[in-house]
Structure 1
Amino acid sequence: MEFKNLRAFLEVVRQGGFSQAAKKLYATQPTISKAVKQLEDEVGMVLLDRSGPKSRLTSAGEVVYQRALRMLAEREDLQAELDELRGLKRGSLQLGLPPIGSSTLYAPVFARYKKRYPGVDVRLVEQGSDRLQEMLQNGDIELGAILLPAPEPFETQMVCSEPLVAMLPVDHPRADQDSVSLDELKDTPFILFEASFSLNRILMSAARRRGFAPLVTARSSQIDFITELVAAGMGVSFLPRRMAEQRPHPRVARVLLDEPQTQWDMAMIWRRDAFLSPAARAWLAIVKEIHPLS
């Protein structure tokens, strides 16, 4: 059932005739007559009694008229809602961010996004990269921020690339160096993040390439707690340089990690076959504004 035929029918009823309806719709009278006839053929019943000076609704016409009013009103409401979504006056974004680095990298993005699109509801989850990939695959979130490399099914937009820094107790033998390799730290216990954090995988892979398996003395998802464990002399931990510089501690030395394939490469990712909503595309655009590396 075509909306243009319904609209022509409604206007004939409102205007009391075909010629008046044609003027209202800026169409010819034969065009309006054809549209109403097509509608009658489709429903298989006469909708207008054309015998008098004015067209009048038949019983079937009354039913179609009332339904058509609601259908066209619903269509207009639908169009209005879609226009609001396109204009980002409303909508929602399911977004996954990692606990590491979100305050530095994504808080400015979030603030600008909400200022520009206050009607969009951002539903945020915080998980490690591995869990965020699972949630993307399951359709639980639309965009996720993870450490590269990303698996094959995902598209990526680069956010930043940072070297890692070794966080050492100030009395550690390597604390005064400008840089340090993992080989020089193999006898120092490691303090790592929780198992779902991709940073662990980067470090453990690098250690295996060096031919050792580090002793892991503690795990946590809290950067400040890990920093305090380092300060207490429990071992070495690792952070992207930007995050490490934001957490100075009198009993913690920051030494650049000189180790191949341990760069902290952060990106926004999404499923390659997924439709990206206007809200998601707007988020990616603001990420690019704030982090031009992307």
Structure 2
Amino acid sequence: MNLSQMRHLLAIHETGSYSRAAEQLHLTQPALSRSIQSLEDELGLPLIDRVGKRNEFTAFGEAIVERAKRIVFETEEIRRTAQLLKGGLSGGIRVGMGAGPSALFMAPLLNRLAHEHPAIHVEISQGGADLLLKQLHDKALDVLILDTRVANPIETLQVEQLPDAPAAFLCRAGHPLLALARVRIDDLSRYRVASSPLSAEIGRLLLERYGPKAHPEKLVTMRSDALQALLDTVSQSDIVYLGIRALAAQALADGKLQELPITPALNSAARYGLYTLTGRTQPPALDIIRLMVLEEAKRIFN
């Protein structure tokens, strides 16, 4: 029994096919079949039943797969630990960010790394939560910064909560709604509302607080992850922005945008978190990234 056989077994389990697994492993199909047969002979029990053209793992095979996953993972982590210790802080780190975190943290993070830790090699990827979580699980990324209400917690993930990021309804200076002492949902529904894609939890909050007219499918008519482009559009039109207030801090300070006095008050916030894989050896630079993000979050949201 060896590590290669464990990898071969996992490839068949993942792909469901000897031919696809052989292609993935850059082996011939007969060579892969011999490897599995040798493993079955050594263990004395079948791992895979060949039912027509289908391959079904036996109960014993499924149990071995779970153990093989841990063996392969720990082996990779031993190699990774050695590489990280050799590289020290001069090694690299790969960070994934959702739309909100990217708009909030990317520029200050890159600026501080360039000035305070120029030896660190950093790669930052942007994308949706599902894609970034897959890349984290595939070990293509080291850490994610995501809205914790979009990314459901599971046992393979460690999540470190960041300070809450208050949300608000914002509009351009001189918007007709600003003439009202109190803005109700009936008033707001006469205008287009722009936002990034909203989580199911935010959708429920809007419904509970403002009623059926606040259903995201009715209320929000413009959605984009390009948050700065949305804010630029809001500052030049009668569209209302629903999202993180801190993203518009400069425009609010300059008087280009103003917060709507919505009634009842929104009292909502995005909850961002730092996601890493449970049990994975982390690059030394992660502690620096974590500290910087926490410091920036406190500065931005407090």
TM-score normalized by the length of structure 2? 0.56
Distance in 2, matches of 1:242 and 1:228, equals 15
Instruction: Please tell me whether residue 152 in structure 1 is matched to residue 159 in structure 2.
Output: no
* Counterparts in 2 of 1:98 and 1:79: CA distance versus 1, 3 Å: closer
* Counterparts in 2 of 1:245 and 1:119: CA distance versus 1, 3 Å: closer
Instruction: State the secondary structure of the residue aligned to 1:152.
Output: coil
How does 1:114-263 map onto structure 2 within 5 Å?
Answer: 114-149=114-149, 150-153=151-154, 154-170=157-173, 172=175, 174-176=177-179, 185-193=188-196, 197=197, 199=198, 201-209=200-208, 210-212=211-213, 213=215, 214-248=218-252, 252-255=257-260, 258-260=265-267, 262-263=268-269
Q: Normalized per residue, which structure has more helix?
A: 2
Distance in 1, matches of 2:165 and 2:143, equals 21
* Counterparts in 2 of 1:97 and 1:225: CA distance versus 1, 3 Å: same
Letter of the 1:139 partner, please give it: K
- Residue deviations 1:187-219 (CA, integer Å, cap 9, x gap): 4332222xxx4x454543333333333244323
Deviates more, 1:180-189 or 1:262-271: 180-189
* Counterparts in 2 of 1:237 and 1:292: CA distance versus 1, 3 Å: closer
State which structure, 1 or 2, has the greater radius of gyration over its C-alpha atoms. Answer: 1
Distance in 2, matches of 1:219 and 1:265, equals 19
Paired residue for 1:266, among 258, 269, 272? 272
Deviates more, 1:218-227 or 1:157-166: 218-227
Q: CA deviation at 1:93?
A: 0.8
Instruction: State the secondary structure of the residue aligned to 1:93.
Output: strand
- Residue deviations 1:131-161 (CA, integer Å, cap 9, x gap): 3233323332111111123422232223332
CA contact (8 A) 1:192 1:220 kept: yes
Q: CA deviation at 1:95?
A: 0.5
Instruction: Please tell me whether residue 283 in structure 1 is matched to residue 282 in structure 2.
Output: no
Q: CA deviation at 1:277?
A: 2.0
- Residue deviations 1:6-46 (CA, integer Å, cap 9, x gap): xxxxxxxxxxxxxxxxxxxxxxxxxxxxxxxxxxxxxxxxx
List structure 1 runs of 4+ shifted beyond 6 angstroms.
78-81
Q: CA deviation at 1:278?
A: 1.6
- Aligned residue pair count: 210
Distance in 2, matches of 1:108 and 1:287, equals 9
Unaligned segments of structure 1, at least 5 residues: 1-77
Q: Structure 1 vs Structure 2: percent identity of aligned residues?
A: 18
Distance in 1, matches of 2:182 and 2:146, equals 26
Instruction: State the secondary structure of the residue aligned to 1:242.
Output: helix
* Counterparts in 2 of 1:171 and 1:276: CA distance versus 1, 3 Å: same
Q: CA deviation at 1:239?
A: 2.7
Q: CA deviation at 1:240?
A: 1.5
Deviates more, 1:135-144 or 1:228-237: 228-237
